[in-house]
Chains A and B, each alone.
Chain A
Amino acid sequence: DAGVIQSPRHEVTEMGQEVTLRCKPISGHDYLFWYRQTMMRGLELLIYFNNNVPIDDSGMPEDRFSAKMPNASFSTLKIQPSEPRDSAVYFCASSPSGGGISYEQYFGPGTRLTVT
């Protein structure tokens, strides 16, 4: 298996522009998570999905952020409009489940976003 795939790996954009980050989870995993990592705030959970349905989006910073999962093999995280404070590394992770137990998460390589 190729693991969790994220694209792009690096994104540099100007303030006010729309940014779309993409994620392909590991096949068969029914949970998908989006995290943001910064020096100041560490690793923050933004939102997670189960079977393509958003379960908890309480970590999404504000309305400028939105996430979708149209099918089991694809998710997007969109920022519109982007601001310099959104600069961070955004990780996608997926996890299998079984018997109601949460298993470990498998992380993608991350997207390093720089908003100038």
Chain B
Amino acid sequence: AQSVSQHNHHVILSEAASLELGCNYSYGGTVNLFWYVQYPGQHLQLLLKYFSGDPLVKGIKGFEAEFIKSKFSFNLRKPSVQWSDTAEYFCAVNARSGGFKTIFGAGTRLFVKA
């Protein structure tokens, strides 16, 4: 069965620090990969996605993620975080052969200190 593992449940950073959130999935076939963000009190929004092509994808607000197929990883990065990036981040995987069922990771809560 598919699963998604996010390595850090809570991350605290100061503004301007660099961010990297780990995400690993378990599935041997072709996958679509997503990062969603949930700001406090709001619903989940898509941050970025990977379907095919360049494994380095860029999303909104300066976020990017790199798909490393050999490592089954899709880590999220941002070179310099802002206070407004405080949110919960979810990695999600959809197996193309598995219909439209998307599996979400447990989430990583990021707190950025001003």
Which A residues are closer than 8 A to B by beta carbons? 31, 33, 35, 42-43, 45, 48, 50, 55-56, 91, 93, 95, 97, 100-102, 104-110
Contacts and interface: CB of A to CB of B under 8 A. Distances in A.
Contact of B104 (A43, A104, A109): A43
Interface of B: 32, 34, 36, 42-46, 49, 51, 90, 94, 96, 99-107
B107 A102 contact: no
A91 B51 CA distance: 24
12 contacts: A31-B100, A45-B101, A45-B103, A45-B104, A97-B100, A100-B96, A101-B96, A102-B32, A102-B99, A104-B46, A105-B44, A109-B42
A42 B99 CA distance: 22
Contacts, number: 52
Contacts of B106: 42
Contacts of A91: 43-44
